[in-house]
Amino acid sequence: MNWTDVVDLVIKGNNREVEHVLKNYPYIPAIAEDLRKKKLQVLEDLPKYIQETMKNVEKLGGHAYLARDAEEARRIIGKIVGTKKTVVFSKSNVAYEIGLREFLQETGNDAWETDLGEYLVQLQNGWPAHIVAPAIDLTREDAATLVSRIDKNITKDSKIEDIVAAVRKFLMDKYLKADVGITGANAVAADSGSIALVENEGNIRIDSVLPQTHIAVTGIDKIVPTLPDALNEIYVQSAYAGLFPPTYINITSGPSSTGDIELKRVSPATGPKDFHLVLIDNGRLNASRDENIKEALLCIKCGRCYLACPVYRAIGKEWISTKSPYGGPTGVMWNYITNNDPWPASFCMHSGGCSEVCPMKIDIPTVIREIKSRGNRSLV
């Protein structure tokens, strides 16, 4: 099965699932419309919301940091983690953006992705093919070849169920040894300092609760005003990814705590002793002040625009050749914001399909046109 066959199947499946979700949960579009307003509200005064978020994380007994770029983020997290630790990662585009797993491995840690797709990408030493389904470019035979490295019982004839079971067994050993769990955040609530995460596999719950140190790393664009807004972002992201209702929603507010003795809340309890939120700028603050680019920061990473794009359908992840977690039309915008790289925009055909399916109503073609223009001007 070649790439175009794979992506055609994914498109049909995603369109069918999203149509089903919107039919059975008709309140989703209204939630998406309100979420757009709330995210724009944050972008109007992003520094204020960053400070509010950090203050409330500290109030809960956690630790909050603002990293200006990838290097500073790695330095902060490297200091927290140390060396010779077992580190489990849940799927985090921002961790991938800053090269965090590779950095921790290079500094003497045993670090593993625990999302199945990201785990396969790690074994492949590659980069994600899609923002929600990172390994959609791999066939069953491809996955079996990779997993056979950690389980010799897996062959090219193995069933998908057997491949998944082998990965589960391998990762369970890592979970039980893990010193640090690193997650992303689908949304961060400024009013409470809480982070919201959505998943279907169950690995995020383990990564964020079993290790005694939990580090959440995410972009400042993920901040929303309130906890209800954070939950709404999860609902919209999962709905337009075609995975609604999500199997698990996780809210983390500081380290583990208990109020069972005299109703006094104390930390830690059974779960993590330490919670760290690392907010990353890496070009986002400048983008929020750029009227021609700022709409890109509304992106909730649902991946719908990928499947509506003729360029992505033709060449897949190779469109963005910098081993980026951000591909497709949204990847054009995000690689410009985080890498100052305008050149992927030159491949855009301006079909307009991306903006038609975007739940945040981002005018993606206009943003890409601006990026393309800036790239052309830089040649003069």
Would residue 310 count as lying in a domain?
yes
Would residue 1 count as lying in a domain?
no
Distance between CA atoms of 73 and 280, rounded to whole angstroms?
Answer: 7
Q: Using the predicted structure, report yes or no on whether residue 246 has a pLDDT greater than 70.
A: yes
Q: Which domain holds residue 215?
A: 12-284
Q: 380 pLDDT band (50/70/90 cuts)?
A: low
Q: Using the predicted structure, report yes or no on whether residue 6 has a pLDDT greater than 90.
A: no
Q: Using the predicted structure, report yes or no on whether residue 379 has a pLDDT greater than 70.
A: yes
Distance between CA atoms of 214 and 165, rounded to whole angstroms?
Answer: 26
Would residue 3 count as lying in a domain?
no
pLDDT one-digit tens code per residue, 128-172:
999 999 999 999 999 999 999 999 999 999 999 999 999 999 999
Would residue 144 count as lying in a domain?
yes
Q: What pLDDT shows up at residue 64? A: 98
Do 273 and 290 belong to one domain? no
pLDDT one-digit tens code per residue, 334-371:
999 999 999 999 999 999 999 999 999 999 999 999 99
**What's the domain count of the chain?**
2
Do 109 and 36 belong to one domain? yes
Among 128, 89, 114, 206, CA closest to 167:
114
Among 140, 138, 166, CA closest to 152:
166
Q: What are phi and psi of 306, to 5 degrees?
A: -55, -50
Contact 6, 137 (CB under 8 A): yes
pLDDT one-digit tens code per residue, 85-117:
999 999 999 999 999 999 999 999 999 999 999
Do 310 and 265 belong to one domain? no
Mean pLDDT of the residues in the chain: 96
Do 77 and 172 belong to one domain? yes
Do 264 and 299 belong to one domain? no
Task: Tell me which amino acid residue 91 is.
Answer: K
pLDDT one-digit tens code per residue, 247-257:
999 999 999 99
Do 256 and 359 belong to one domain? no
Q: What are phi and psi of 64, to 5 degrees?
A: -125, 145
Do 280 and 290 belong to one domain? no
Distance between CA atoms of 135 and 103, rounded to whole angstroms?
Answer: 22
Query: Burial of 49 by CB count in 10 Å (0-12 exposed, 13-18 middle, 19+ buried)?
Result: buried
Domain boundary (229, 252, 284) is at 284
Instruction: Give me the torsion for CA of 334, 340, 346, 352, rounded to 10°.
Output: 30
pLDDT one-digit tens code per residue, 36-48:
999 999 999 999 9
Domain boundary (284, 305, 335) is at 284
Do 90 and 160 belong to one domain? yes
Do 201 and 291 belong to one domain? no
Would residue 7 count as lying in a domain?
no
Lowest mean pLDDT among 40-44, 67-71, 209-213, 319-323: 319-323
